[in-house]
Amino acid sequence: MDNKYAKTLVLDSSYIPRGIISSFRGFVITWKGNAEVVLKHDCKFKVQDPNAEYWKPSIIRVNHYVNQKGHKVPLTRENVFKRDNHKCVYCGLNKRQELTIDHLVPQCKGGKNTWDNLVTSCKSCNNKKGDMDVEDFTNIKLDPKKPHYLALLRTTGNIPEEWMPYLFPKK
């Protein structure tokens, strides 16, 4: 079974991501009535009672607002690589030793070091792009975002697709 089914994303009452817990813990919280299941995984828990089946929760929403200080996501080379899954956004190469950072709007044209201007690129694609704007280099639609701090925690292996709207919200 895929490791992504072992974890549950926890949202507060306003649908803001607050944590990642085990699916079993997520089940217990909802069973006690302290949260509701927003989405479930495509698999069930195995229990001793053959007549009982329980879906593993993928996303739960707790019944109260969790007031936390904002978690800062530092703009670092490694965090850009993590956000882009250690793959070149142009060709998909995922050899870590070949990866670099590319500016969608080149620095020589006023491009800044910001989350929405930096992407992971392999050395080859970065050299081919040179000082071109991204639209002149490729027809691939790129829209990099500042990730939620939980998205950078790679404890779960692959992040389930259904978590993406919460961890990478649209502006």
pLDDT for 99 beyond 90: yes
Beta strands in 63-163 (DSSP E): 99-103, 118-122
pLDDT tens, 119-149? 999 999 999 999 998 889 999 899 898 887 7
Say if 155 falls within a structural domain: no
Q: Are residues 37 and 89 in the same domain?
A: no
Distance CA 134, CA 142 (A): 8
Say if 52 falls within a structural domain: yes
Say if 152 falls within a structural domain: no
Please count the residues of the chain.
171
CB burial string 95-123: b at 16+ within 10 A, e below: eeeebbebbbebeeeebeeeeebbbbbbe
Q: Are residues 12 and 45 in the same domain?
A: yes
Q: Confidence band (pLDDT; 50, 70, 90) for 80?
A: very high
Q: Are residues 83 and 65 in the same domain?
A: no
Q: Which domain holds residue 83?
A: 77-137
Q: Are residues 36 and 86 in the same domain?
A: no
Here the CATH number for the domain that contains residue 117 is: 1.10.30.50
Closest CA to 60 of 32, 82, 97: 32
**Domain boundary at 53, 69, 85, which?**
69
Token duo for residue 138: 């490729």
Place of tokens 């500016």: 103
Distance CA 146, CA 114 (A): 9
pTM: 0.63
pLDDT for 44 beyond 60: yes
Q: Are residues 131 and 82 in the same domain?
A: yes
pLDDT for 156 beyond 50: no
Count of the separate structural domains present in the chain: 2
Distance CA 154, CA 19 (A): 13
Say if 146 falls within a structural domain: no
Mean pLDDT of 11-21: 88
